[in-house]
Structure 1
Amino acid sequence: MRIMWNVAQNQNLFLILLRLNNLHPQGNGLLKLLRRFFHLSRKLSVLQLYLTLKDFLRYHTSWTGHRVQKMAIMLLLRKHETLEVDEDDSIIAESEVLWRINFERFIFCLKKKFCAERKKAKMRLGTLAIWEAFFEANVTNNDNKTVTSPIDGILERVGQKEGGMSMTLDHITSVLNDLECTSTANNPEEFTFDLNKLVETCRNDEIESLVKKKHGQEAYTIFRLLLKQGSPVETDEITDRTILDKQVVHETLYKLWKDEYIDSERVPSTSATGTGSAQFFVWRVKNIYREHFMDNLYHAALNLRQMVNYMAELLLEGSKDEIKLRNRKNILILALTRHDESLMLFHDF
């Protein structure tokens, strides 16, 4: 896996390589992602890029076809203006019109789809129809942070849903307001939803979920309290507000502090009964808790990638347990694909 750290040192290259692994060799996204990869690696030499692609393709068994390797190398040479055209052998003809992918718009579409799907699970059938109609009626704009849809478009698409014809305008408007789709006095005919606000909530949910898995329900409760509070909270106040045993609170706070999710500070307090002074601890969520979480994500992705590569090497060696190894490899690839959603949530959105 030297390609991950020796060459793809910045996070963008790392994510592009991960997504390349999850594409079928003949997929339409292959060419675009390869171009994106080379665009992000301008500062690397031709030799470094060549060795990177060579190792990358060698490690992934489904990418060993001559056509795919040749296409990657042709793109590489074209990038550095050293391509010599051969009409019979080259995959990209010199006269071909090259198109640039609108990466920002692509990320916006992914963000919109992610937010729409994330909120669906908690909705009833009638509410779900209005939510889907709102996103389907989205008008094209230059704002990548919000989704804006006209009420006429929403009504039209709601009418195409099951049970939509019986919904009144007042009911649809009420549901949109409940879903935090807002309209303004200047333009009451359009509703806007803030994607970044939902993304922020989803990020916190991901981190809280990890805290719960690692340290239990008590840690989840305390971390969530500190996260929502946004300011230092004294130990006794945490005990009172979470209704947890004092000893459990102390042990859990220590675990979270040791795992670098929270900070503690010793605050002096003048005693009310004497001239002496007392001290107590206050706790807050670390300012860099997300960076810490992202580091864990990258390490986990790297470990999964290394395990997939190890399985691929065993298969190439002709192991007796080929079926078992192949099943394990497929499970790991599926886990890596799901893991990529979390990376996308924190890195791209």
Structure 2
Amino acid sequence: METTEYGIVYAVHIISVQFGTVVSKVCECLLRRGPLSSRDISRLAKSEINHNQVKDILYLLIQHNCVQAFSIEPPDGSESKATVQYLVLLSNILHRGRYNKFSRVVNEELGSQCGAVLDGLLCNGRLTLGQLIERDQDSEKPIGSEVIKDSLQKLVAARFVERIPSPEPVLANKEQEPAKKRGPKAAKILKEPETLEERVLEAATPVETIRFPLVFEQDSNSSIADNDNNITEGKRKQRDVDLSPTSNEVIWRPNFEEFIRRLRHKVCVEIVKERRDEGCAIVMRAMLEVGRSQEKKVKTDKSVPMSVGSIYEEVIKTEAGRTMLQERVEAYLDQLCASSSYLPAFVIEMDSSYIVDFKSIISVAQKDEMEAVVMRRYGKEAFRMFRYLSQEGRFVETDKIADAALTEKKDTPQILLKMWKDSYLHMQKFVVTGGGSGYASFLLWKVNKLIVTRQMLDEMYHASLNLSLRLTHEGDSEKELMMLSSKILKNTSDGALKERVKKVNAKRMLLSASRFKLDDAMMLFHDF
């Protein structure tokens, strides 16, 4: 989906807060103009940032997984060298506000030690195993090199951490690239990348065995060879100055794709539990676990086919499904395959196999979110109209909408026009001419989900930006108060001061919780 205006402003704000305004200017330039070379960025920045600064900033953004470099093959016969261009990754910038969610996933599944290793990668973007160990040695409570190595192996095995992509993949020139011939069945399974970003990321991503190696050894030249107990202060200072990895060291980074996959699975289970029952949720959780290792991309509409036997084996591994019989699992699968006028089927049965329909499940949550916004903004009558048009999925005449939504016909056009002006409805004027000179005009209305989604996302980016700015303002205005240690606050007898601290903390927690909840809604429309 094309980036919205407030999506750009929000992303620039995130970069500005974390890296400064100079870095955010380069980021904004790429977000607004698309992929550019470092020379083009320097030229567009005019006298504000010189070329060397631009190169340093791009290196920083690449280090933190916000930019990907690439080049395109020059035309045949051309002696010109391919120019390296830089593509900004909006999703990865938005993920920077979700690090707490990602850490929670790892802490719950793999424990706090793996969580500590992940936090190091989230903070620094990309690190080698040696750098992770050096970071641990300089911490207040080191956990040891062996624990770091074991934790990293667990994170890689669970696909929470991956080997970094190719630094500068070369894309084939599309004008010269011959069309690939595939059968109709292959065309359905293998979806060709459509956008430039998809092409670049696909070209940069290593094959599975390199991306997630089952066994990896640290190079002997790494600083891991230093014993934990024999590191002098001088050595540590020297490492702090130059932490660039040697060419033969493996560099690791967080795999955002896997975190989004886990969060999507969690949302799917919650939707099934709410709309069906606990038993269906247990079966859905088992299906997602069976199919997870075979999912290649997060934004696939459907899972791989699964047999009843494999689903049942996963169900009985869980505490909630340990005593469940296979017949009961089959009954829950039948429930998940059933559809009605109000609720679509969440699972598709095909050739004695079952497929999870992610698009169908997420669409339920998206519909709830849209209807909730319409209800809050326009009232109950508008909500009924919007729901009716969503179910119809086609253009409907004004009077028919009024009859279906049980609203006054004189009020219906005004309510519909309000939603149309805010891009929540699509309108079309239909003119019918008679045999003479007379004619009649009708207004037809429809919910265009793509337009509504774009509009809602832009409003969510705007709201999240406002919440972030308010949080920053609260922090700046009460900076001196928040710098007081908890020990001083505990021993002071000033009741007014304690009450003020309590109110400030409550306000910050409310703002953070609101932004956290808003981000959940953003992921429904942008990431899932």
**Same-fold status (TM-score > 0.5):** yes
Deviation track 1:111-169 (CA, whole Å, cap 9, x = no partner) reads: 22221222212333433333333334436214432334432232234445557636452
Aligned partner of 1:322 in structure 2 is 501
Change (3 A) 1:97 1:308: same
One-letter code aligned to 2:444: V
Tell me how far 1:277 sits from its aligned partner. 1.2
Question: Which of 431, 440, 445 matches 1:283?
Answer: 445
Confirm whether residue 200 of structure 1 aligns to residue 375 of structure 2.
no
Aligned partner of 1:212 in structure 2 is 375
Aligned partner of 1:182 in structure 2 is 348
CA contact (8 A) 1:304 1:332 kept: yes
CA contact (8 A) 1:129 1:164 kept: no
| Residue aligned with 1:231, SS | coil
CA contact (8 A) 2:303 2:358 kept: yes
Confirm whether residue 114 of structure 1 aligns to residue 267 of structure 2.
yes
Change (3 A) 1:104 1:298: same
CA contact (8 A) 1:265 1:282 kept: yes
Change (3 A) 1:87 1:213: farther
Aligned partner of 1:340 in structure 2 is 519
Higher alpha-carbon deviation: 113-122 or 263-272: 263-272
Change (3 A) 1:21 1:310: farther
Which runs of 5 or more residues in structure 2 are unaligned? 1-12, 32-89, 104-114, 128-137, 141-166, 168-222, 224-233, 338-346, 483-496
| Residue aligned with 1:269, SS | strand
Aligned partner of 2:404 in structure 1 is 241
Question: Which of 299, 304, 307 matches 1:150?
Answer: 307
TM-score between the two structures when normalised by the length of structure 2: 0.50
Question: Which of 464, 487, 490 matches 1:301?
Answer: 464
Which runs of 5 or more residues in structure 1 are unaligned? 39-65, 69-78, 80-84
1:2-151 aligned at under 5 Å gives the runs 3=16, 6-7=24-25, 8-9=27-28, 10=31, 11-12=90-91, 14-20=93-99, 27-34=116-123, 87-89=235-237, 90=239, 94=245, 97-138=250-291, 140-144=293-297, 145=300, 146-148=302-304, 149-151=306-308
| Residue aligned with 2:291, SS | coil
| Residue aligned with 2:441, SS | strand
| Residue aligned with 1:147, SS | coil
One-letter code aligned to 1:115: C
Aligned partners of 1:217 and 1:27: how far apart in 2?
Answer: 48
Higher alpha-carbon deviation: 5-14 or 335-344: 5-14
CA contact (8 A) 1:147 1:192 kept: yes
Change (3 A) 1:119 1:166: closer
TM-score between the two structures when normalised by the length of structure 1: 0.73
Change (3 A) 1:32 1:88: closer
Aligned partners of 1:330 and 1:28: how far apart in 2?
Answer: 26
CA contact (8 A) 1:239 1:245 kept: yes
Change (3 A) 1:67 1:279: farther
Tell me how far 1:328 sits from its aligned partner. 0.3
Tell me how far 1:13 sits from its aligned partner. 5.2
Higher alpha-carbon deviation: 288-297 or 221-230: 221-230
CA contact (8 A) 2:430 2:441 kept: yes
Aligned partners of 2:256 and 2:370: how far apart in 1?
Answer: 27
CA contact (8 A) 1:147 1:194 kept: yes
Change (3 A) 1:87 1:116: farther
Deviation track 1:57-112 (CA, whole Å, cap 9, x = no partner) reads: xxxxxxxxx989xxxxxxxxxx9xxxxx9841346584664224433333222222
Deviation track 1:165-222 (CA, whole Å, cap 9, x = no partner) reads: 36452x422321321323322xx2x421021232233223212211111111211121
CA contact (8 A) 1:13 1:37 kept: no
| Residue aligned with 1:268, SS | strand
Tell me how far 1:275 sits from its aligned partner. 5.0
One-letter code aligned to 2:16: I
Q: Alpha carbon RMSD of aligned pairs, Å?
A: 3.4
Aligned residues: 301
